[in-house]
Chains A and B, each alone.
Chain A
């Protein structure tokens, strides 16, 4: 009980620190030092559609998990990671759709600075996994303490998928580029 309370407190603190870090990084990554990213009208339309797809993906996943829970079908992943996976998959669908339709950057984004921010995020997510592997504590089981790097694995998987979509789209975009 005390252990899970300490873990919840730790996670809440971590989330708050993460939120502050995100604000600072966004201010750094945007050319106009604003936290909010500005999009043009087509980008807004595509992002809106992406949000819809992301939302329905999450609803679909939650419906499947509810049915599985009712049928008492268990999966070898802790419950907290399943909920987090739903969120990550929803975000991946939303971002993937936007990137696939050419919305890589907002109007006030600095791509080079964003690349730095993404690199920091990837490194920060690799550290707990690497230390978990080195110490031998990384295992997929029911103990949330031992399985904590699952969050990082999911975030890294999201980054990998998005980078892949971005790369394919970027190459296709360059090939069909019409200039002058």
Chain B
């Protein structure tokens, strides 16, 4: 399932996939795979994405 919350939050911060990937220390392809729902990141990567976007795990990764 696509992570539209992450995509929207990234766009809200005016960051490209490449920018966010660089901040989190991963490749652009990995960030793209997370947004597309093709890859489930580890909790450590989830936390660094949340920190980069100033959001919580609930905001980005919790599905209602």
A binds B: yes
Residues of A within 8 A of B (CB): 40-43, 102-105, 107, 173, 177-180
Size of B's binding interface in residues, CB under 8 A:
18
Number of A-B contacts (CB under 8 A): 41
Instruction: Verify if B26 is at the interface (C-beta below 8 Å from A).
Output: yes
Q: Which residues of A contact B27 (CB under 8 A)?
A: 40, 42-43, 102-103, 105, 107
| B39 engages A42 (CB within 8 Å) | yes
Cβ of A8 to closest chain B Cβ, rounded Å: 42
Name B42's contact: one of A41, A103, A107, A180 (CB within 8 Å).
Answer: A41
Q: Which chain A residues border B35 with CB–CB below 8 Å?
A: 178
Assembled-state Cα–Cα distance A173/B32 (Å): 10
Q: Determine chain B's interface SS by DSSP, over half rule.
A: helix
Q: Is the CB of B33 within 8 A of A42?
A: yes
Contact B29 A102 (CB under 8 A): yes
Chain B 11-49: CB-based contact to A (< 8 A → 1; otherwise 0): 100001110000001110110110100010110110000
Contact call B33/A102, Cβ cutoff below 8 A = yes
Contact of B29 among A173, A179, A180 (CB under 8 A): A173
Determine the distance from Cα of A107 to Cα of B33 in the docked complex, in whole angstroms.
Answer: 16
7 pairs of residues in contact across A and B, judged by CB atoms under 8 Å:
A41-B30, A42-B29, A104-B29, A177-B32, A179-B16, A179-B18, A180-B16
With CB as the reference atom, state the residue of chain B lying closest to A43: B27
